[in-house]
């Protein structure tokens, strides 16, 4: 795009992208697939785009966590037990990101986008599998899986929610709403840790970030009001097509270098 991320047109595009990303997250998940490519298109480097996007969109996970707080109930102790590996994994993933050379991260980005897109594409199947799975009670398995997912969450994050739900089906004896409650609070932990590292390392572009965040706040509010009117599956399919297109664009850009 021929606009800088802090130009009036660039900020307007980021505001719109933030609103769309929040709406997509509310309806189907995968909002990062909308906002991250817009930052790249405005000329922001991959590392800074990932950090700026993560900081701008994290309030959405916090609001989701509060929305599910009544579902925690007896699982508060399990949530507490999962926080240490979540902290450790998110810290490791975030530090891995800031230590990754820009060229290497640029090469990894298309694969990350493709992975997140495929997770979103098969989200209904994963949810159905989770709902039909006889949940186990292996605390150690839960700690190890949550650590691994948190590393990914701190590094990139798109699609980590569906990863956590699938993993919880293997070790948590809970229904989908209870797992969502645990998942949302763990996502907050991951996002806060990543945000702290990204801010500390100076990777966040604050003016674009604020514009993206303002759009996300509006998008989250509007989507909450309209959530009964838009078929979530239709929006999810649209984002999957968009994600595949963006993965193709990023693979093409990489091949041209």
pLDDT at position 11 over 90? yes
78 pLDDT tier (thresholds 50, 70, 90): confident
Question: Which is higher by pLDDT, 156 or 65?
Answer: 156
Q: Map tokens 């480097």 to a residue.
A: 45
pLDDT at residue number 197: 95
Alpha-carbon span 86 to 150, nearest angstrom: 5
Q: Residues 206-216: what's their mean pLDDT? A: 93
Considering the entire predicted model, what is its pTM? 0.81
Neighbours of 43 (CB within 10 A): 13
Candidate ranges 4-18, 154-168, 227-241; pick with highest mean pLDDT? 4-18
pLDDT at residue number 255: 86
Question: Which is higher by pLDDT, 203 or 21?
Answer: 203
pLDDT at residue number 224: 55
pLDDT at residue number 226: 59
pLDDT at position 179 over 60? yes
160 pLDDT tier (thresholds 50, 70, 90): confident
Residues 6+ apart with CB under 8 A from 227: 26, 27
Alpha-carbon span 178 to 195, nearest angstrom: 26
pLDDT at position 232 over 60? yes
Q: Map tokens 């640029």 to a residue.
A: 106
pLDDT at residue number 95: 95
Q: What tens digit of pLDDT does each residue of 26-48 get?
A: 666 678 888 999 999 999 998 99
pLDDT at residue number 88: 97
pLDDT at position 228 over 70? no
pLDDT at residue number 148: 93
Alpha-carbon span 18 to 11, nearest angstrom: 10
Q: What tens digit of pLDDT does each residue of 82-96 get?
A: 999 999 999 999 999
Q: What is the C-alpha radius of gyration for the chain, rounded to an integer number of angstroms?
A: 17
């Amino acid at each position: 795009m021929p606009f800088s991320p802090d130009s009036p047109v660039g900020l307007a595009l980021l505001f719109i992208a933030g609103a769309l990303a929040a709406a997509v997250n509310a309806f189907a998940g995968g909002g990062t697939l909308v906002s991250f490519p817009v930052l790249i298109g405005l000329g922001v480097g991959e590392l800074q785009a990932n950090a700026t996007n993560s900081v701008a969109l994290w309030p959405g996970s916090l609001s989701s966590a509060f929305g599910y707080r009544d579902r925690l109930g007896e699982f508060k102790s399990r949530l507490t037990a999962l926080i240490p590996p979540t902290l450790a994994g998110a810290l490791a993933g975030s530090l891995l990101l800031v230590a990754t050379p820009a060229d290497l991260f640029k090469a990894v980005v298309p694969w990350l986008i493709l992975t997140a897109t495929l997770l979103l594409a098969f989200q209904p199947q994963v949810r159905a599998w989770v709902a039909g799975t006889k949940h186990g009670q292996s605390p150690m398995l839960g700690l190890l899986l949550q650590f691994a997912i948190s590393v990914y969450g701190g590094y990139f994050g798109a699609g980590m929610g569906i990863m956590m739900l699938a993993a919880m089906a293997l070790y948590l004896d809970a229904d989908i709403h209870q797992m969502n409650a645990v998942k949302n609070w763990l996502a907050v932990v991951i996002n806060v840790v990543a945000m702290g590292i990204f801010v500390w390392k100076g990777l966040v572009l604050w003016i674009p970030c604020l514009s993206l965040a303002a759009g996300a706040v509006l998008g989250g509010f509007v989507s909450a009001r309209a959530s009964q009117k838009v078929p979530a599956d239709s929006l999810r399919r649209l984002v999957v097509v968009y994600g595949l297109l963006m993965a193709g664009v990023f693979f093409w850009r990489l091949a041209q270098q």
